[in-house]
Amino acid sequence: MNTIAILGGGLVGSLLAWRLARQGKKVHLYEAAAENAPQSAAYTAAAMIAPFAERSVCHPEVFNAGLRSLELWPELLKELEQDCGVKVRYQTQGSLLLAHPSDYAEMRQFEADMRIHQLLNHVSVQHLAGSEVRAVEPDVAAHFTEGYWLKNDAQVDNRSLLLALKKAAQSMGVEYYFNSQVNKDHVNKDHVNKGQVNKDGGDWFCDGTKINAEQFIDTRGVNAKSEINNLRGVRGEVLWVSCPEVNIQRPLRLLHPRYHLYLVPRGEGRYQLGATEIESEDRSPVSVRSAMEMLSALWTLVPSMSEARILSFETNLRPATPDHKPIIQQHENTLSINGLFRHGYLLAPALLERCEKEYSLNLNMSLFANALETDYA
């Protein structure tokens, strides 16, 4: 039986390993990090599937792929539970978009962008005014007197998802190789096709040993920079707190002129706050400035969290392309999937479906609901 080697064990690599093994394929997965110390952006992410919240700041292709992913995630999670017995938490109460009164210009800009794309009156977009805001989320600060409830947005428990995907894949015979550094030995390293996958040919190696496989799928994120020209890492920082006394029901997203902030309930009184977006590939701990900005935002967003206990600060790098659109490229026996930026969970299911249709990967995605026909671009 032919072997498929998946390079990178983040979200896309993990989904592919499970789906391919489900179809009887022989799969080996190579991951640079240790098994008990995940380093992928998928592990650090807030894992929101929020196309409407992102529409004003993302490309139309990303938005439409996000709409499709909203359809696919429940079906994927249902099959995953059947395969491994783990029910992954999937929040479907939407998200709440807010702005401080001093930043209402950002709210007006959001409205203008949504109006341009004929989404402002969409059935899933509800404007809230006055007491309606606190009727939806009673714990938000009283000075928030305007907002938008984006009812179709969702959020998945990414950490339990990644564990469930590994459990399901291993039960189907997928072989995992952790602490495995992968690189390609190119025939001519000076020849790079600008902006695209390196087309030099060559063999894949893991820690100096050639990988024997008939097909390779490269999903290594920023670790694939040597193969994808103009791919870069964008630093993101997040904060985890514990505050069981507060009961936020859905992700809160704060419009701000300098950064995109969110507060996501993660169960058992824990919340994730983020995320900075810094043009740097520095993986060092969170800076004092970023910590102060996030903590200040938390306190002004939900004042009753002033006594919350800080659990951790985390940093990671998002793989990004110049236009912030994902890349799917095939050269010889290597398929490269990368550049999901901060939209990994928003895009992944739709990208798998695209890989099946355009690159003949047998993932059995066709059993799910018919593709979304409406184009909101």
Averaged pLDDT, 17-39: 97
Query: Same domain, yes or no, for 104 and 145?
Result: yes
Q: What is the pLDDT of residues 87-119, one digit of tens each?
A: 999 999 999 999 999 999 999 999 999 999 899
Span 249-273, average pLDDT: 93
- Based on the domain organization, do 170 and 224 belong to the same domain? yes
Task: Give yes or no for residue 83 having a pLDDT over 90.
Answer: yes
Pick the closest to residue 273 from 319, 312, 234 (CA basis).
Answer: 312
Instruction: Report yes or no: 37 and 12 within 8 Å, Cβ to Cβ.
Output: no
Report if residue 90 sits inside a domain. Answer: no
Other C-beta atoms within 10 Å of 129: how many? 9
Minimum mean pLDDT range among 17-31, 194-208, 309-323: 194-208
Answer yes or no: is 305 within a domain: yes
Q: Are 328 and 311 part of one and the same domain?
A: no
Asked if 71 and 144 sit in the same domain, the reply is: no
* Residue 88 within a domain: no
Instruction: Examine the pLDDT at 197 and tell me if it is beyond 60.
Output: no
138 assigned to some structural domain: yes
**How would residue 201 be classed by pLDDT, with cut points 50, 70 and 90?**
low
Query: 117 lies in which domain range?
Result: 95-151+232-320
Over residues 130-138, mean pLDDT: 96
Q: Which residue has the higher pLDDT, 374 or 202?
A: 202
Report if residue 86 sits inside a domain.
no
Check whether residue 285 and residue 236 sit in a common domain: yes
Alpha helices by DSSP H, the chain: 11-22, 41-44, 51-54, 60-84, 104-116, 131-136, 158-171, 288-301, 344-359
pLDDT for residue 369 is more than 70: no
Residue 87 lies inside a defined structural domain of this protein: no
pLDDT at 371 over 90: no
Count of structural domains, the chain: 2
> What's the chain's length in residues?
377
| Domain of residue 111, CATH code | 3.30.9.10
> Do 140 and 250 belong to one domain?
yes
Same domain as 292, residue 200: no
Q: Are 45 and 115 contained in the same domain?
A: no
Per-residue pLDDT at 220 exceeds 70? yes
Residue that the structure tokens 């390196």 belong to: 198
Q: Are 328 and 340 part of one and the same domain?
A: yes
| Unique residue bearing structure tokens 């009727």 | 135
What are the tokens at 116? 């341009």
Under the banding of pLDDT at 50, 70 and 90, the label for residue 376 is very low
Edge to edge, the sheet with strand 3-7 lists: 175-177, 26-30, 3-7, 215-218, 334-338, 327-331
User: 227 in a domain, yes or no?
Assistant: yes
The CATH number linked to 220 is: 3.50.50.60
Query: What are the Cα distances from residue 160, in Å, to 42, 75, 126, 301, 375?
Result: 11, 17, 31, 27, 32
311 shares its domain with 212? no
Give yes or no for residue 202 having a pLDDT over 90: no
Give me the mean pLDDT over the 29-58 stretch: 95
Confidence of residue 187 (pLDDT cuts 50, 70, 90): low
Average pLDDT for the chain? 92
Encode pLDDT of 62-76 as tens digits.
999 999 999 999 999
**225 with 243, same domain?**
no
Residues 243 and 135 in one domain: yes
The rounded distance, in Å, linking the Cα atoms of 165 and 15 is 7
**Residue 201 belongs to some domain of the structure:** yes
